[in-house]
A and B are shown apart, each in its own frame.
Chain A
Amino acid sequence: MELLLLLALLDGLAYAAQLFMVAVGLTLVFGVLKILNVAHGSLFAIGAYSASTLAALAGTPWLSLLALALAALAVGAIAGPSIERGLLARIYDKEQVLQLLLTFALFMILEDVQKLVWGVQPVFEDAPVRALGPVVVGGIVYTAYQLILLPGLAVVCLLFLVWFLRRTVTGRMILAVAHDREAAEAIGIDSRRIYLLAFTIGAGLAALGGALAAPTTSLVPGVGVQTIVLSFAVVATAGLGQIEGAAATALLVGLGRSFAVYFAPELEVVVPYLLMVIVLVLRPSGLFGGRELRRI
């Protein structure tokens, strides 16, 4: 029993770490661009597939770890700017519903791109996990990758984002645009560049989340939709645009799900949404979100 509890705890932590990376990207993009990128999950999936491919090519286990980072960087750097400049920039002044439809169309396209490039057979490459080997905690043999690397990187990621956004000039400019685009432009901030930057960071985080998740699971079509739905649940539960909130909620959802896996397996898929619905019924703007009023 105690072993099960510990196992659920460890699984939950590793899972929450992955979830946080992708959710925080989604919430960052929304906070700044006011667009929910439905294709965010597809970027996660493409990051994951690319990482698997690169890791398999890497040859040695240690190089395969490097391959993960490289894949995430490449996907973020290519997909981010091309999507933002090529598509999103055309619809910032359009109706909300068109913005949603546009990213949904992109999602439909990218889901099939995955099938065309990587096929429909499961893809599995765990060289990066093997590189770090096992560790023993409280009598459980666990992978160092999931126990140390994933949660560690998630924490680094959170701290970096908070530092970057609140302590650097560029970060403060991003926050200024997120808060009030017109006012930010009035003091000379180029919101086009901020949008580009924020979206690229967000896309990079999605790809990084995917790349890090890749070695722990076999990739099949449908990863993208699972990811967007789940990370939306995290982001909505936290309150759109909340970064620390996303971390806390990812932890909550990650643990909730892993405990369900061990103690109520039939509830596994439902737990994150159950949490979301309960929170939203009680607090419509999320655990950490505030209400916004329009000027009339």
Chain B
Amino acid sequence: MVGETRVSSPLLEARGLVLAFGGVRAADGIDLDVNEGEILAIIGPNGAGKTTFLNMVTGYLRPQAGSIRFRGREITGLTPRRIVRLGIARSFQIPQLFTEHTVLENLALQLAAREGFWAPFAPLLSRARSERALALLERFGLGELASVRADALDEGARKLVDVAMATALAPRLLLMDEPTSGVAASEKHAIMDRLVSALRREGVTAVFVEHDMEVVARHADRVAVWSNGKILAQGPPATVLADPAVHREVLGVEVAPC
């Protein structure tokens, strides 16, 4: 949020990432830059290696070859914990919530992770923390669910809480894995509008995996198309989405009627 000295290099630089599971090459020489302040969409068929890429950037999987640099610093092989402290947060394709806690407590735990986590006797739901958690929930239209236990939420709400939790970490780079899949079509755009404008306002760089081309066209500055562990094409949405090769690979396979 603080205007730092402009660095000429991209915020995130991935070079030659390779990762194979058995015979499947989930990453087969991925080169990708993510520039400061941009919002990048990743599209591609299931199994193309989109989540694997997020997993490598966030330290859950270690690439067998290649390097990942964040703000010029090598982060390949660091643990998820170290990487999130450097400013990369993520949301998950399968929501990862603390199911015995309420939605508010889920958010508060994320906020606490940034400061005051180890204070042994200060309550998690201090007034200040509760208020900030509630404000974050409001942004996603989740205010009314604050006191609902996470395991009682429907799929769409779970997904949004998961994204809200990632934003609570106030990252410089936010990675979102299908942030609105499972969310009702009628709410999807409103929520993405609010989320994206908040990200832009706060200067957060974001990468999101998405299957809904309408969402991509509307919110992404740039699109990267994944196919069989490789990047097939990248560029502005208007150009990329009009590319016949992309159509064949992505839209041809799974154009959804939504």
Which residues does A use to contact B, with CB under 8 Å? 293, 295-296
B94 touches A295 (CB 8 A): yes
List residues of chain A with CB within 8 A of the CB of B61.
293
Chain B 48-68 interface 0/1 with A at a Cβ cutoff of 8 Å (1 = within): 000000010000110000000
Chain A to chain B contacts (Cβ below 8 Å), 9 pairs: A293-B60, A293-B61, A295-B94, A296-B55, A296-B60, A296-B92, A296-B93, A296-B94, A296-B96
Chain A residue at minimum C-beta to C-beta distance from B92: A296
Cβ-closest 9 pairs across A and B: A296-B92, A296-B96, A296-B94, A296-B60, A295-B94, A296-B55, A296-B93, A293-B61, A293-B60
Return A296 CB to nearest CB of chain B, in Å: 5
Task: Give complex CA distance A296, B55 in Å.
Answer: 9
Task: Give complex CA distance A155, B24 in Å.
Answer: 38
List residues of chain B with CB within 8 A of the CB of A293.
60-61
List residues of chain A with CB within 8 A of the CB of B55.
296
Chain B residue at minimum C-beta to C-beta distance from A295: B94
Chain B 84-107 interface 0/1 with A at a Cβ cutoff of 8 Å (1 = within): 000000001110100000000000
Interface class of chain B by DSSP: loop
Task: Give complex CA distance A295, B92 in Å.
Answer: 10
**Contact residues of B between 16 and 56, Cβ < 8 Å to A:** 55
Chain B residue at minimum C-beta to C-beta distance from A296: B92
Task: Give complex CA distance A295, B94 in Å.
Answer: 9
Q: A293-B61, A296-B96 are in contact. List 4 more A-B contacts (CB 8 A).
A: A295-B94, A296-B55, A296-B92, A296-B93
Return A212 CB to nearest CB of chain B, in Å: 40
Task: Give complex CA distance A293, B62 in Å.
Answer: 12
Task: Give complex CA distance A296, B61 in Å.
Answer: 11
Task: Give complex CA distance A138, B148 in Å.
Answer: 75
Chain A residue at minimum C-beta to C-beta distance from B95: A296
Return B80 CB to nearest CB of chain A, in Å: 10
List residues of chain A with CB within 8 A of the CB of B92.
296
Return A76 CB to nearest CB of chain B, in Å: 36
Chain A residue at minimum C-beta to C-beta distance from B94: A296
Return A285 CB to nearest CB of chain B, in Å: 16
Task: Give complex CA distance A293, B93 in Å.
Answer: 16
Task: Give complex CA distance A296, B60 in Å.
Answer: 9
Task: Give complex CA distance A293, B92 in Å.
Answer: 15
**Contact residues of B between 78 and 130, Cβ < 8 Å to A:** 92-94, 96
Task: Give complex CA distance A293, B55 in Å.
Answer: 11
Return A242 CB to nearest CB of chain B, in Å: 20
Task: Give complex CA distance A23, B228 in Å.
Answer: 43
Task: Give complex CA distance A296, B59 in Å.
Answer: 13
Task: Give complex CA distance A215, B105 in Å.
Answer: 60
Task: Give complex CA distance A295, B93 in Å.
Answer: 10
Chain A residue at minimum C-beta to C-beta distance from B90: A296
Return A179 CB to nearest CB of chain B, in Å: 13
List residues of chain B with CB within 8 A of the CB of A296.
55, 60, 92-94, 96
Chain A residue at minimum C-beta to C-beta distance from B21: A293
List residues of chain A with CB within 8 A of the CB of B93.
296
Task: Give complex CA distance A293, B94 in Å.
Answer: 15
Task: Give complex CA distance A206, B93 in Å.
Answer: 43
Task: Give complex CA distance A293, B59 in Å.
Answer: 13
List residues of chain A with CB within 8 A of the CB of B96.
296
Task: Give complex CA distance A295, B61 in Å.
Answer: 11
Chain A residue at minimum C-beta to C-beta distance from B93: A296
Task: Give complex CA distance A293, B21 in Å.
Answer: 12
Chain B 223-256 interface 0/1 with A at a Cβ cutoff of 8 Å (1 = within): 0000000000000000000000000000000000
Return B256 CB to nearest CB of chain A, in Å: 23
Task: Give complex CA distance A295, B47 in Å.
Answer: 13
Task: Give complex CA distance A140, B234 in Å.
Answer: 78
Chain A residue at minimum C-beta to C-beta distance from B96: A296
Task: Give complex CA distance A150, B92 in Å.
Answer: 53
Return A123 CB to nearest CB of chain B, in Å: 48
Chain A residue at minimum C-beta to C-beta distance from B177: A296
